[in-house]
Amino acid sequence: MPATPIRFHFDIAIIGGGVAGLWLANRLANTGYSLALFESKALGSDQTVASQGMIHGGMKYTLSGTLTGASEAIAEMPRHWRACLCGEGDVDLRNTRILSDHFFMWSSETMTSRLTTFLASKLTRGRVEPVADDKRPPLLRNNHFSGSLYRLEDLVLDVPSLVTNLANNLPSRVFQVEENSTRLTAAANGEVSLITEQDGQSIEVTAQRIVLTAGKGNAALLQQLGLQQPAMQVRPLQQVMVKHHYPHRFYGHCLGAETTPRLTISSHTTSYGAPVWYLGGSLAERGVHQDATELIESAKQELADLMPWLDFSEAEWATLPVERAEPLQRHFARPDNAFATQVVGVNNLILGWPTKLTLAPNLANEILALLNKDAITPGSATNEAAELGRHLMRAPIAKTPWDIAFPPPPDSSLTDDEATDADT
Ligand SMILES: Cc1cc2nc3c(=O)[nH]c(=O)nc-3n(C[C@H](O)[C@H](O)[C@H](O)COP(=O)(O)OP(=O)(O)OC[C@H]3O[C@@H](n4cnc5c(N)ncnc54)[C@H](O)[C@@H]3O)c2cc1C
């Protein structure tokens, strides 16, 4: 690297532009901190645009009986997001598309009594209600449907529009860096800085705090500093995507005998308006042990078992291997809260994993609390970000998995509006 790097200093530098980094950057910018966010691929890569977009109050986790006191934080989240979507919260999400203001939980006939018993205790909280037969969504209005159906008052968001909204709230502060020519380094006094090389020019970024929100990239960033803690766990999944001709948008969990939903369905649209169902739940957890062809066969079988009245013979199928990145838990358990900590061994490094899209606001609150604890307050306003923008490009928005899996056919003519007409 050249001997004299150009130096930039911010209150906060954020590394990783998924929902965690982008939400945090919005909170910090609204509070007056000077900041820059650095992304090595595209904003929302890895987990965020691969998520199903469900902003939930933790209901599905109570199925396993493992929801703890700490997870009361998640119960608050749908209300928090709703305020932001109306422009009345701590982050302005008025340009984020809501795909659905509810999702369903249903069970096959044999599991009905378990679901009914479980949900009975929740009905008084007003977030779940049974759905009468004549109020069922079109998709489940078939004589062969014989399970019980509940409606949860939680949200499903169009994640690409969320990422775009969060990024657009941050003009001139979101930068792309080349992963291979960017590294963290710690000075003898324990101060960490980011060094990136762009067109032969070395750029050094220092900050009162550097925050790692790089998802599964956090572990490699720590390794650059010779650090192993906090340790990370990754939970692999293999999701299934099916591009079909049904207009029905559907969002829901089907309960089986396991503690995770047997099947989770969310509905999305390709950029050229084709409907896609995105299938997760136990299907995707078991799917990591299958190759794509086997998993697609399993998915076809699941849909044939649960909705035998639908015909997917003309559908196109694809799978997405993806990993959830989380702090290491005892017995590899699922964390039910956001995780943020000051990294031990250096002075100015914070690391966070939201563990769920839903918990991004919670993670930002925890990081702001760490800043307050150390009296890291907004410094004087600078034009450093605008100056840095003369050297680094703005990071683009990641493509969705379904746009990558199903590129537009040469004669695609469906518009977004045609595809969004249908209701659940
Ligand atoms: C299939 C699936 C479905 C899900 N569905 C839901 C759901 O419905 N509801 C819910 O609440 N949660 C859901 N989740 C969980 C949720 O998606 C994640 O918890 C959340 O998106 C994590 O966000 P993040 O910003 O921490 O990480 P990521 O989204 O993984 O973002 C990390 C970012 O950091 C960047 N990066 C990595 N390394 C570097 C580096 N060295 N330098 C710079 N940038 C770097 C990456 O390119 C990426 O853009 C789901 C997860 C998966 C995998």
Q: Which atom of ligand 1 is nearest to the CA of 353?
A: 26
CB 232 within 8 A of CB 218: yes
| The pLDDT of residue 416 | 47
Q: How many whole angstroms from its chain centre is CA 115? A: 27
Q: Is 257 left (phi over 0), alpha (psi -120 to 50) or beta?
A: alpha
The residue whose CA has the least distance to atom 2 of ligand 1 is 51
Query: Which atom belonging to ligand 1 lies closest to the Cα atom of 43?
Result: 49
Report if residue 128 sits inside a domain. yes
CA angle 276, 278, 284 (to 5 degrees): 150
Q: Give me the phi and psi of 268, to 5 degrees please.
A: -135, 175
pLDDT, one tens digit per residue, over 84-128 is 999 999 999 999 999 999 999 888 666 555 665 566 555 444 467
- Which atom of ligand 1 lies nearest, measured to the CA of 398? 49
The reported pLDDT for the residue numbered 122 is 54
**Among protein residues, the one whose CA lies closest to atom 9 of ligand 1:** 54
Rounded distance, CA 346 to CA 344, Å? 6
235 belongs to a structural domain = yes
Decide if 90 is inside a domain. yes
Q: What is the CATH number of the domain that holds 265?
A: 3.50.50.60
In angstroms, what is the span from residue 355 Cα to ligand 1's centroid? 8
Q: How far is the CA of 14 from the centre of ligand 1 (A)?
A: 15
* C-alpha 362 – ligand 1 centre gap (Å): 15
Res 258: pLDDT: 75
Work out the number of other CB atoms within 10 angstroms of the CB of residue 352: 27
| CA of 304 relative to ligand 1 center, distance in Å | 31
Q: Which residues sit opposite 265 in a β-bridge?
A: 252, 279
What are the tens digits of pLDDT across the range 227-284?
Answer: 999 999 999 999 999 999 999 899 999 988 777 889 999 999 999 999 999 999 999 9
Give the integer Cα–Cα distance in Å for 390 and 323: 35
Distance (Å) from CA 130 to ligand 1 centroid:
33
Nearest Cα residue to 320 out of 355, 351, 280: 280
How many beta carbons lie within 10 A of that of residue 312, not counting itself?
18
Please report the pLDDT score of residue 259 as a whole number: 72
Peptide bond into 308 cis (omega under 30): no
Say how many Å lie between the CA of residue 11 and the centre of ligand 1.
24
Which amino acid makes up residue 380? S
Separation of 24 CA from ligand 1 center, angstroms? 14
Residues of the chain with pLDDT under 50: 1, 64-70, 123-126, 416-424
| Pocket, ligand 1, Cβ cutoff 6 A | 15-21, 38-41, 44-48, 50-54, 179, 213-215, 217, 221, 237, 239, 280, 322, 324, 353-358
233 alpha carbon – ligand 1 mean position (Å): 13
Q: Residue 123's pLDDT is what? A: 46
**Containing structural domain, residue 375:** 6-420
pLDDT, one tens digit per residue, over 360-376 is 999 999 999 999 999 99
Is position 1 within any domain?
Answer: no
Residue whose CA is at the smallest distance from ligand 1 atom 42? 40
**320 CA to middle of ligand 1, Å?**
14
From the CA of 54, give the closest atom in ligand 1. Answer: 8
For residue 240, the surrounding DSSP H or E stretch is strand 232-243
Residue of 47, 55, 351 best suited for mutating to test ligand 1, as the one with most atoms within 8 Å of CB: 47
Using alpha carbons, select from 270, 269, 213, 263 the residue that is nearest to residue 240.
263
Average pLDDT, the chain: 90
Point out the ligand 1 atom lying closest to the alpha carbon of residue 217: 38
Q: From 213, 184, 157, 175, select the one nearest 23 (Cα to Cα).
A: 213
State which ligand 1 atom lies nearest to the alpha carbon of 324: 53
Find the helix packing angle between 159-168 and 19-31, rounded to 10°: 30
Centre of ligand 1 from the C-alpha of residue 328, in Å: 16
Q: How many domains does the chain have?
A: 1
- Cα–Cα distance list, 123 to 59, 118, 128 (Å): 11, 10, 5
pLDDT of residue 107: 84
Report the C-alpha gap between 276 and 394 in whole angstroms: 30
Cβ atoms of 174 and 37 within 8 Å: the answer is yes
Structure confidence at residue 96 (pLDDT)? 98
